[in-house]
Structure 1
Amino acid sequence: MNAKLLAVVGVGILLVAGVVGALVTGFGPAPGGDSGSDVESFPTETPSNTGSDGASGDGASGDGGTSDATATATDTPPFTFAIGNIEECGRTCRDVTSTLTNRRDATADDVTVYTRIFAGNGTDGDQVWQGSEDVGALDAGESYTATKRVELSYSDGYKIERNDGWITVQTTVETADQTVTFTERRQVA
């Protein structure tokens, strides 16, 4: 009887250890990783040529965040990107609403927005989420607003916690004729 009880307890301990290990490493049924859209490679920014054709944009920031803007005062960024609302949908889940605005004088065709989130204060940290959104054509002055669910695994949440709660969000807007990248840092925990 004792041997049977010992075997059942041993199997139970192994089962619990396996589930905990899966949650900590991000494997298994725990949410996380990406938006579900497989992004093969992220585009890089179009090199600057003249005027607004190659300006890199100005990232918008909310409370607790900072952004990098590489356009000069004389350059008008072709797009603006702003995170408008962040709603909690779980311990490691957020519904993020953002708006992209075409500031060019012409329609932007074949617009796709790619986003990556890194743990820490830079893009050299661990990537904890990625996603993309096909926008299509965006007329001059027109805005496009979308809400994405960002679900992280517990291990990705721990990576952010280890970086004092800082994340870096890198958003790249790719069109038929140019690519613009925004980088924003936020303290989320």
Structure 2
Amino acid sequence: MTEVCGLFTYTWTPFNIDFFPVREIYMLVQVFGVHHLYMVAGLMAWLVFETTHHIVVRIRHVKHVITEALAEKDPVIRRDRFRGAVQYHNSLFGLEYIVNDAFSIFQFTHMVLTAAVLGTGIYSLLHSLELAVAVYESPWYTYEVDLQMDVMLVLKRCQTSLQLRAGSFGVMDRAMFLGVLKVTYSYIALLQNT
């Protein structure tokens, strides 16, 4: 095996490519290959980032709709608007399922490679917990008992934040990120000692 230096990445080939024009052609292939790899990864990361921010906008809208519904004076209209807001809130959980189904495998790879986007994505999804605060701060306790019971169920459901999943490996959170870092460090230490 011979090592060819001066390329974009270190390359070991079973034959000699260290002559003109093979070396330059191989370097061109490497540069364009890496460029396309990063472009695809960047586009996927941007799609996840964009989708989580779309969910944040919808969470803010649900918060607004629920507080407007609970501020309604007429109990019949209040009940109807609250029911619609709860259905809207439940549709966000369906959107979470679709996002996890579409991006979970990519998210695992993304988590291993990029911590910054992971942090901003999780921070964005934590906005889903703000909905409980908005509902709790409304005067829901002064309304009829059956609506109070429904509001308490919504409060209970809002205590669980939306989550990004990394395939079957679990929820992308701080504990999983630290676990991946520990395993990565262990592998690097093992490879350096062999």
TM-score of the superposition, structure 2-length normalised? Answer: 0.32
Name the structure where strand makes up a greater proportion of residues. Answer: 1
Name the structure where helix makes up a greater proportion of residues. Answer: 2
